[in-house]
Amino acid sequence: MTAPRHPGLTDRFGREHRDLRISLTDRCSLRCTYCMPADGVPWLQRDTMLSTDEIVRIARIAVEMGIDEIRLTGGEPLLRADVVDVVSRLARLEGPAGRPELSLTTNALRLPALADQLHDAGLVRVNISLDTLRRERFHELTRRDKLTETLAGITAADASGMEPIKINAVAMRGVNDDEIVDLTRFCVDHGYQMRFIEQMPLDAGHTWDRQQMVTGEEILAQLRAEWTLVERSDRGAAPARVWDIAGTAASVGVIASVTAPFCGTCDRVRLTADGQLRACLFAREESDLRGLLRGGATDEELADAVAACLRLKRPGHDIDDPAFLQPDRPMSAIGG
């Protein structure tokens, strides 16, 4: 008989948490304008970063509590020198529902070197960020001339057998909103799944503007002008609404975190690279698991801290509330 899930994973609003996002580093090889400043990034101090043993211990406790999905992110998670070892250790954890499903979100630059090893180590699938197919634009948007390398990384992930390959793009007005159809067609042609994301107020420069944001409805209008879309009914707690593209084997998703929040079904909790647990991307409170770990806490005490963090989780992110305050950490230091 399987052990019951820990009651502490269910919050005050009845949301059962199943998905742990672990940031492996806040460092990155790109400088996407909606995420990081061009320079002067306030990096986390090295001695505050969790060791691999510390990450695996927290993940083990979370999985034993009932977390059954782990996504590795960052910053750029593939910049962590021992990322293959992290994957292989996390893939072997076991909870009441068996082994957790492991995935990773990446800018793909290190995938040509690592995709096969990661897949062999237990990485099932990847989400890859690609906001444009145009070289000059990629350079402006990420402040690095790396489109060719990113595309090579996508090809390497595909060749390694990871499945599905999801491509994420943040839609931005006057920047890449004229490529919504092109990016989707690229995915249709290659058998990848396209996901568009509404831009959220998580940039390091705090320049996000609600009026400027491309909405999910606008993205859909462009897609519908090109294809017939048939919405899937199996969304569950997933952030994306997904449509099958009629006449193709592909689907396209829209993550409308701002205009159509999905907080009511959120099952995610985040661990930063410096060991702070966050119940929400937009949380203003963090639980210091690193302090507990390094202070000699038992597994039970750490599980209690996870439960206490989730007890504080608010019903929604309140981006539309005039009193909304952007979190102090940029996306790259939270873990998207």
36 binds, among ligand SAM, ligand SF4, none (CB under 5 to 8 A by kind): ligand SF4
Helix (H) or strand (E) holding 251: strand 251-255
* Smaller CB separation from ligand SAM, 6 or 276: 276
Please count the other Cβ atoms lying within 10 Å of the Cβ belonging to residue 246. 9
d(CA 92, CA 46): 27
Q: Which is nearer to ligand SF4, 36 or 252 (CB)?
A: 36
Query: Looking at 72-80, 115-123, 177-185, 282-290, which segment touches ligand SAM (CB under 6 A)?
Result: 72-80
Angle at alpha carbon of residue 11, lines to 101 and 56, rounded to 5°: 35
150/106 Cα distance (integer angstroms): 10
Q: Does 256 bind ligand SAM (CB under 6 A)?
A: no
Contacts of 14 (CB under 8 A, 6+ apart): none
Q: Which is nearer to ligand SF4, 75 or 275 (CB)?
A: 75
Q: Which of 142, 150, 199, 251 binds ligand SAM (CB under 6 A)?
A: 199
Q: How far is the CB of 329 from ligand SF4 (least distance, A)?
A: 12
Residues with Cβ within 8 Å of 142's Cβ and at least 6 positions away in sequence, in order, are 30, 31, 32, 33, 107, 131
* Partner from ligand SAM, ligand SF4, none binding residue 227, C-beta < 5-8 Å depending on class: none
The mark string for 146-185 relative to ligand SAM (x by CB under 6 A, - otherwise) is ----------------------x-x---------------
- One-letter amino acid at 92 equals R
Residue 198 CA to residue 215 CA, distance in Å, equals: 6
Q: Quick one: which segment of 103-111, 115-123, 173-181, 271-279 binds ligand SAM (CB under 6 A)?
A: 103-111
CB of 63 to ligand SF4, least distance (A): 25
Give yes or no for residue 25 binding ligand SAM (CB under 6 A): no
Instruction: Measure Cα distances from 193 to 23, 77, 110, 190, 254 in Å.
Output: 23, 21, 20, 9, 11
Restricted to residues 110-129, the positions that interact with ligand SAM (CB under 6 A) are 129
Residue 200 is a binding residue for ligand SAM (CB under 6 A): yes
Residue 156 main-chain phi, psi, to 5 deg: -65, -40
Query: Which chain residues interact with ligand SAM by CB under 6 A?
Result: 28, 34-35, 73-74, 76, 105-107, 129, 168, 170, 197, 199-200, 202-203, 331-332, 336
